[in-house]
Structure 1
Amino acid sequence: MGIEIEDKFDVPSEYAIPDLSGLGDVVGPRSYQLVALYYDTPDLRLAARGVTLRRRRGGADPGWHLKLPKAKGVRQEIVLPLTRSTKVVPGELAELVRAYTRGADLEVVAELETKRSITVLRDGDSELVEIADDRVKGTVYGDDRPTIVRWREVEAELLEGGGEKTLAKVGKRLRKAGATPSEAASKLAKLLEPAPLPTAPTEAGTAGEIVVAYLAGQVSALLSQDPRVRRAEDDAVHQMRVAARRMRSALKAFKTVVVDTEHVQDELRWLGAVLGEARDLEVIRARFAKLLAKLPPELVSGPVQARLGADLHEREQEAYERIKDALSGERYYALLNALDELISSPNLGKAAAKPAQERLTAIAATNWDRVTKAYDTAQAIDDPERREIAMHDVRKAAKRARYTAEALEPAIGGNMGRLAKLSEDIQEILGTHQDGVVAQETLAKEAESARQAGEDTFTYGVLVGIERSTAERAHAEFPNVWEKTLTAVRKVL
């Protein structure tokens, strides 16, 4: 797997690569002949989402290449060795694009023959930037006769030893010589013209436009994490779960803007629960590892590290297998289809046509009111145990208020960023308390298993004491945080 940082340029057929001296030692050019077959569904679902799947021969990196959509300026590329078959996509790569194919077959949709000339900028033994000058012949396959298109383009890719400033300087010289930044995300995007993703018929400046655009962004975020979750990459489950939670929260908060979304909300809750098991185990395993690392050696007795490390990790891997099963099932595909429909043809309520600033600010205030009402309800309960349960509703309300304000801040600005931060403060301190309580419960279960196995349980008691202290400290600090937050929110709203 690799991360690409590159700039693409369109150039005329007579274009000459400019002098790059002064930016590094110029090595090359070297020439290659590349032949790539591109795979997609018949209706080009991968191309529509900016995903590229190809089998390439020739050059320095022959093999199967899967390029996922660019996020924050970089594209993730996964490479596998060439296989003999040109008809069957390797199972690992087919699995990684399931969120896009949703059960549809992958087939060859295009072929690219590229005459590539490579120039590399070096600094001693370090390679800085690679400049690829490509003359391309593209063939599109379909029901009719193949269509052939020819063009020329230049790519400047940042290499391991380089920096983005050097890449920017290369790009400046290429543009000065007549290159123009390419609007196409890839050669395939330039060759194929997939139908654009449908967009909702909302009016500019309305609440409907802002809300639907936010939901579309979260759908893209969820899809971008799907391949990473299947590969069990770091933080991927968390990010995918957050996208699902943000969408569900937005659909609840903006229920007068986009209406009749109860079924989608239920399915997003299901997806969050599927992802939650592995995520919770991942978090608590890391939590215990950190605590154990801080303990003096004389306080660590018995195989506690194995039980709280390897055992929890094994359970985490089992949870990942259940995630993969869920992400390859019809229920998940149905949810993705429902989300696509939601952002392309939403059922808009009367509030959708109202000016965004006026209507959405009022919704943000209403969601904060839910936090204060939940708090008042909890404090009116005499029984401490029941009150503790009710405070969990305060945390959930604060999270929803935070997500709502975060959704609105880029579009309507104002005090939404501040409101989001204040809501997050409440969410976090209640979360610190709740996490400490859950950790104590987990430790108690693990200690019982250790006791039954005849193991020393002393260290479990030490850890329970630490977690209890953490939870009690957060509980004691909460009233002061609450009062300060109320005062700040009054100024914001």
Structure 2
Amino acid sequence: MGTRVRETERKYEAASDGRGRVRPAPADLADLPEVAATREPAPVRLDAVYFDTPALALAAHRRTLRRRTGGDDEGWHLKLPAAEADTRTEVRAPLGPAEGAPPRELRTEVAAVVRGRPLAPVARLRTERRRVLLLAGDGRTLAEIAYDKVTASVPAADADARDTAGAVGPGHKDTGAWIEADSWTEVEVELAEGTPDLLDAVEERFVAAGLRRSRSGSKLARALGDDRPPVPPPPPDPVVTAGQVPLGYLYAQLTAILALDPAVRRDEEDAVHRMRVATRRARSAMKSFRRELDREVTDPIGAELKWLAAVLGGARDREVLAERLGARLAELGGGQAGPDVRRRLLDPGDHRAAHAAVVAELDGSRYFALLDALEALLAAPPYRRRAAGPAAEAAAATVRRDHARLRHAVEAALALPPGQDRDVALHEARKDAKRARYSSEAARIVLGGRAAAHTARMKGVQQLLGEHQDSVMCRVAVAEARRQARAAGEDTAPYKALRRREREIAADIEARLPGEWRAADRPL
């Protein structure tokens, strides 16, 4: 699945125009914090071909995919954004043949960004690199300083269009399949085993030597002349208007979906659950903030988010059920929980089939169209007139409405006698608890601690109601397994014991709920 490493680095260029010879850092770097000595390895030549879609979707999403020869880590490299400053995640795969397509494991990592579009070479960067290693007293490498002379080329087939757009400089040279487009010098400082303080100290020396932070986000962006804003666009900062509250929340959920997509495909633990939660949060925000966002735009997207949550739910519900059944079987003990019972309740084939079904949908056009629609919404928000109002006032009103909705649902459910009707009503109340929780999460950016406290209270109610619903679904699954066991002539006593235990758990929750709700029923 590729080797994953964290990469923390900063790039610098000459403070004049970034094209001239970069002034070297002061010769003596050994007096920097943590540094005991320096070493200069032999220079290297690097040759990297970068791949992207025709519309440069990877670059727009701040991802780069390259095949690089030369140096200590030649191979395929995929760089992904990370939350920490100056940091990215790099996924590496073996070099493979020069004419080969990007490895499958790397294509899987960017499937939600590429969305079925072809990947092809978009740039070639040849770099002459001189390195200085900053060493600790025990010989460990704290950081590597790379002085790079870069020559960038673009595919010959694209040269005319890029020249027209001004991306290919005058006097470019044709080298066959590639057109030389630009050249420059820059300096990279990559942290190894040192601390961020060392990066700051190196930067002080560089600034004194006439360098500054690079204006381009990456070598590729400079080569393509395409340092466009990221997709989706980041939320406004600070949040001022009512419409910006849900916009920022939707941005966070789409970002989470794109980041979790490869983890879901790899079947990582809890990835399906987290992606489903992000999907539900986005849909819930569209419902809660319908006074600020035009429903003609959000309702169709909300329907597709509901579909995606259902796709993910097939796998997630099996995960929850298997975990719960495993716990109940452990309570029964080996005497009653024999192999036949475990086989009927914990079939591993169920998970494999559910995961395969999820991945099939994530490779489909419907999912890709949903991601396109979410990005389009963030790029051109469908604001209503109320969206221009003050953010805090509108957000508080939204949270209060969702809280009142939940109060009505809980009280209506508790007024019913125990049984199926109450089970259904409590399940609906659980949905309202999620909505109340998510709207206060969205409002936290403008309401601060008040919203955070309300979110915590709503989370407690949601979890209690969720435990009740899980118990209901567990009893349904056990009843079906019991029916199959009876038809096969097997002992049904273990299934009766499991259902009895789950009824006890549900009854205890229903007894606790009135008190739990009274403690949580405190609107903003």
TM bin, normalised by shorter chain, reads 0.7 to 0.9
Other-structure match for 2:520: 485
Asked whether the equivalents of residues 13 and 214 of structure 2 are also in contact (C-alpha less than 8 Å), the reply is: no
Match of 1:286 among 302, 323, 330: 323
Q: CA 1:460–1:383 in 2, change beyond 3 Å: closer, same or farther?
A: closer
Asked whether the equivalents of residues 44 and 194 of structure 1 are also in contact (C-alpha less than 8 Å), the reply is: no
Where does structure 1 lack aligned partners over 5 or more consecutive residues? Answer: none
Trace 1:448-463 onto structure 2 (pairs within 5 A): 448-450=483-485, 459-463=494-498
Residues 1:187 and 2:203 are matched in the alignment: no
Q: CA 1:454–1:470 in 2, change beyond 3 Å: closer, same or farther?
A: same
Other-structure match for 2:165: none
Q: CA deviation digits over 1:248-291, x for unaligned, max 9?
A: 00000011111121110000000010011111212332334455
Other-structure match for 2:338: 301
Residues 1:443 and 2:478 are matched in the alignment: yes
Report the Cα distance in structure 1 between the residues aligned to 2:141 and 2:499, rounded to whole angstroms: 52
Other-structure match for 2:49: 37
Residues 1:6 and 2:40 are matched in the alignment: no
Residues 1:117 and 2:152 are matched in the alignment: no
Match of 2:402 among 351, 367, 370: 367
Other-structure match for 1:264: 301
Other-structure match for 2:365: 330
Match of 1:472 among 507, 510, 519: 507
Deviation at 1:452, TM superposition (A): 5.1
Matched AA of 2:369: A
Match of 2:30 among 14, 19, 27: 19
Please say which structure displays the higher CA radius of gyration.
Answer: 2
Deviation at 1:318, TM superposition (A): 1.2
Report the Cα distance in structure 1 between the residues aligned to 2:145 and 2:234, rounded to whole angstroms: 39
TM-score (norm 1): 0.88
Report the Cα distance in structure 2 between the residues aligned to 1:459 and 1:123, rounded to whole angstroms: 65
Deviation at 1:415, TM superposition (A): 1.2
Residues 1:169 and 2:197 are matched in the alignment: yes
Asked whether the equivalents of residues 20 and 173 of structure 1 are also in contact (C-alpha less than 8 Å), the reply is: no
Q: CA RMSD in A?
A: 2.9
Match of 1:429 among 464, 485, 503: 464
Trace 1:137-156 onto structure 2 (pairs within 5 A): 137-141=150-154, 142-144=158-160, 145-156=179-190
Other-structure match for 1:51: 63
Report the Cα distance in structure 1 between the residues aligned to 2:393 and 2:54, rounded to whole angstroms: 45
215-224 or 443-452, which moves further after superposition? 443-452
Report the Cα distance in structure 1 between the residues aligned to 2:130 and 2:9, rounded to whole angstroms: 16
Trace 1:272-421 onto structure 2 (pairs within 5 A): 272-292=309-329, 296-298=333-335, 300-305=337-342, 307-309=344-346, 311=347, 313-381=348-416, 384-413=419-448, 415-421=450-456
Q: CA deviation digits over 1:182-223, x for unaligned, max 9?
A: 565543244442432475999961111222222122212211
Deviation at 1:463, TM superposition (A): 4.1
Report the Cα distance in structure 2 between the residues aligned to 1:435 and 1:37, rounded to whole angstroms: 51
SS of the counterpart of 2:68? Answer: strand
Report the Cα distance in structure 1 between the residues aligned to 2:310 and 2:483, rounded to whole angstroms: 26
67-76 or 360-369, which moves further after superposition? 67-76
Asked whether the equivalents of residues 207 and 355 of structure 1 are also in contact (C-alpha less than 8 Å), the reply is: yes
Matched AA of 2:228: A
Report the Cα distance in structure 2 between the residues aligned to 1:194 and 1:404, rounded to whole angstroms: 34
Report the Cα distance in structure 2 between the residues aligned to 1:119 and 1:77, rounded to whole angstroms: 21
Other-structure match for 2:166: none
Deviation at 1:137, TM superposition (A): 0.9
Deviation at 1:57, TM superposition (A): 1.0
Instruction: Calculate percent identity across the aligned residue pairs.
Output: 35
Residues 1:75 and 2:88 are matched in the alignment: yes
Asked whether the equivalents of residues 302 and 456 of structure 1 are also in contact (C-alpha less than 8 Å), the reply is: no
Asked whether the equivalents of residues 10 and 154 of structure 1 are also in contact (C-alpha less than 8 Å), the reply is: yes
Report the Cα distance in structure 2 between the residues aligned to 1:264 and 1:146, rounded to whole angstroms: 44
Q: CA deviation digits over 1:124-179, x for unaligned, max 9?
A: 59x56442414041414133354113122223234xxx4xxx42232132123125
Asked whether the equivalents of residues 291 and 387 of structure 2 are also in contact (C-alpha less than 8 Å), the reply is: yes
SS of the counterpart of 2:243? Answer: helix
SS of the counterpart of 1:178? Answer: helix
Q: CA 1:181–1:425 in 2, change beyond 3 Å: closer, same or farther?
A: farther
Report the Cα distance in structure 1 between the residues aligned to 2:11 and 2:503, rounded to whole angstroms: 59
Q: CA deviation digits over 1:89-126, x for unaligned, max 9?
A: 2333333322212222211111222315262646759x
236-245 or 278-287, which moves further after superposition? 278-287
Q: CA 1:140–1:345 in 2, change beyond 3 Å: closer, same or farther?
A: farther
Where does structure 2 lack aligned partners over 5 or more consecutive residues? Answer: 15-21, 161-178
Q: CA 1:457–1:174 in 2, change beyond 3 Å: closer, same or farther?
A: farther
Report the Cα distance in structure 1 between the residues aligned to 2:513 and 2:293, rounded to whole angstroms: 35
Aligned length: 480
Asked whether the equivalents of residues 11 and 178 of structure 1 are also in contact (C-alpha less than 8 Å), the reply is: no
Q: CA 1:46–1:233 in 2, change beyond 3 Å: closer, same or farther?
A: same
Matched AA of 2:54: P
97-106 or 422-431, which moves further after superposition? 97-106
TM-score (norm 2): 0.83
Deviation at 1:394, TM superposition (A): 1.1
Report the Cα distance in structure 1 between the residues aligned to 2:325 and 2:216, rounded to whole angstroms: 47
Report the Cα distance in structure 2 between the residues aligned to 1:62 and 1:327, rounded to whole angstroms: 31
Matched AA of 1:195: R
Report the Cα distance in structure 2 between the residues aligned to 1:120 and 1:446, rounded to whole angstroms: 64
Q: CA deviation digits over 1:290-340, x for unaligned, max 9?
A: 55556655554335455544x2x3211211111111111111111111111
Q: CA 1:379–1:201 in 2, change beyond 3 Å: closer, same or farther?
A: closer
Deviation at 1:355, TM superposition (A): 0.9
Deviation at 1:442, TM superposition (A): 2.1
Q: CA deviation digits over 1:233-257, x for unaligned, max 9?
A: 2222122111111110000001111
Match of 1:88 among 82, 85, 101: 101
SS of the counterpart of 2:258? Answer: helix
SS of the counterpart of 1:232? Answer: coil
Matched AA of 2:94: P
Other-structure match for 1:107: 120
Match of 1:225 among 243, 253, 260: 260
Asked whether the equivalents of residues 52 and 122 of structure 2 are also in contact (C-alpha less than 8 Å), the reply is: yes
Report the Cα distance in structure 2 between the residues aligned to 1:236 and 1:440, rounded to whole angstroms: 26
Report the Cα distance in structure 1 between the residues aligned to 2:136 and 2:319, rounded to whole angstroms: 42
